[in-house]
Amino acid sequence: MKQLHIFFHELHSFLILWITQALSTLGSSMTSFALIIWSYQQQGSALNTALLSVCSYVPYIMMSIFAGALSDRWDKKATMLASDSFAAMCTIITLFLLQTGRLEIWHLYCLNALSGLMNTIQQPAADVTVSLLIPKKHYQKASGMRSFSNSLINILTPVIAAALLSLFQIQAVIIFDLVTFGIAFISLLFFVRIPQAIPRQEKREPVFRSAKTGLRYLKQNRGILDLILFLAAINFTASVYNAAFPAMLLSKENGGETALGIVNSATGIALLLGSIAASVLPAPKSRVRVICNTLLFSMSTENFLLAFGNSVPVWCIGAILGWTCIPVMNANMDVLLRGHVPLPMQGRVFSTRNTLQFFTIPIGYFTGGILVDKVFEPLMASQPQNSLPSILFGTGKGSGAAFLFCLLAVVGIVTCLLFRKDPHIWKLEQ
């Protein structure tokens, strides 16, 4: 009991920040979920829907390398408050356009791009804030707790959003988002004290020189750089998957909005179980081995079941197998980075990491949308009903996305096996 009291005392500010930010993230995720459904119903195109994510990620990636330098210079609380407020303003504009019947898909592209730009500045500030608020001995527990909240968000997002959409309209989802933002804003403003990260004089370093410092650090630490590039390759495959996933489930004969919500909830349950495991498991002998093996298992299970399955239960099993290990991987990756990168450097290095690790995501979304709409769906539509592809992946709309999932499984497995042989990654264990 005494240890529990000490734990809560040491993590008091982090716990407030964690809970309220998770609540705000739930609201934002529900809005994104509802707008994806709205977009697909309006356009019927995987590419147009995927472009919502592309517009969010492109400014995030292009500006991340400079945002980290600014984050190291600026006050962390003020940065997070300003960024979140701007994102909330974009949400208010979306609500206004909906209410007046003027909302179009290009409006969402522009608003997502602006929100992504603000997230560019907010993310490195939030990452460094976590390091400032918790002792090093609690890094893995904190990472597991953050994965736990993300898992709950994945479970609750489709459930609550679907309930509000069926009982009311999309406007109710957006209002819920704004209420949760208000709670998080007030909590951060009045109840969370964030200590200074670095001395004042170091904050005067020019932005471009600070950005170069992050790049130079990664160049001199090849193990961390290669691990980031490994995740970049995995992110490409995962974002192609994310572009094809709603298109397949909303189009398949046994799919629809309900099926999409159920499988998303199964994903959330899997992430929840993995987060609990990440929080309670002891430190492994080899964090690099855990990262490589968990990703290999995820890539070699879910995509195949999505490709060959044709029912909600099979898709749910795939989601559980594919996502249970991801929080464990994230926790070990998080501990490796926080343990190797000096605290005064983390804003610059983490933002450089964001650019290198996530630049493949918009490419993957765009590629996935094109492959579904222009390649695999037309290919499957041209197949005779008794052909081998039709037998394996089904017929009708959504079968092309299923074919794509099969290829993604192969690409993911090959990627994992190639990076397992990288000697620089294994040197991190030393």
Instruction: Tell me the residue type at 162.
Output: A
Low-confidence ranges of the chain (pLDDT < 70): 1-9, 68-72, 196-208, 210-211, 430
* Spatial separation of the C-alpha atoms in residues 240 and 233, rounded to whole Å: 11
Could you tell me if 207 and 66 are in contact, meaning their C-beta atoms sit under 8 angstroms apart? yes
Give the C-alpha distances (Å, rounded to integers) separating 103 from 39, 44, 93, 109: 10, 16, 10, 11
CB 213 within 8 A of CB 348: yes
- pLDDT in the model for residue 156: 84
Both tokens of 54, joined, read: 């592309």
Sign of CA dihedral 7, 13, 16, 19: negative
Measured between alpha carbons, how far apart are the two ends of the chain, in Å? 36
Q: For position 6, what pLDDT does the model report? A: 64
- CB-CB contact of 122 with 84 (8 Å): yes
Provide the whole-model pTM. Answer: 0.71
In sign, the C-alpha dihedral spanning 268, 273, 274, 278 is: positive
Q: Which residues contact 372 (CB under 8 A, 6 or more apart)?
A: 46, 47, 243, 244, 247, 248, 400, 401, 404
**Do the Cβ atoms of 360 and 312 come closer than 8 Å?**
no
SS3 174: helix
Q: At what angle do helices 105-133 and 76-99 cross, to 10 degrees?
A: 160
Q: What CA–CA distance (Å, rounded) separates 185 from 294? A: 36
The span from the CA of 112 to the CA of 128, in Å, is: 24
Report the alpha-carbon distance of residue 327 to residue 106 in Å, rounded. 34
Task: In whole angstroms, give the CA distance from residue 385 to residue 309.
Answer: 17
Contacts 24+ apart (CB under 8 A), 418-422: 419/226, 419/230, 419/233, 419/292, 420/292, 420/296, 422/226, 422/230
Q: Are 62 and 390 in contact (CB under 8 A)?
A: no
Tokens at 242, concatenated? 């994310």
The token duo for 213 is 């410092």
The three-point CA angle 267-273-278 to 5° equals 120
Other residues' Cβ atoms within 10 Å of the Cβ of residue 101: 6
| Longest CA pairwise span in the chain (Å) | 72
Nearest 10 degrees: Cα torsion 256, 257, 262, 264: 110
Closest of 403, 401, 379, 116 to residue 260, by C-alpha: 401
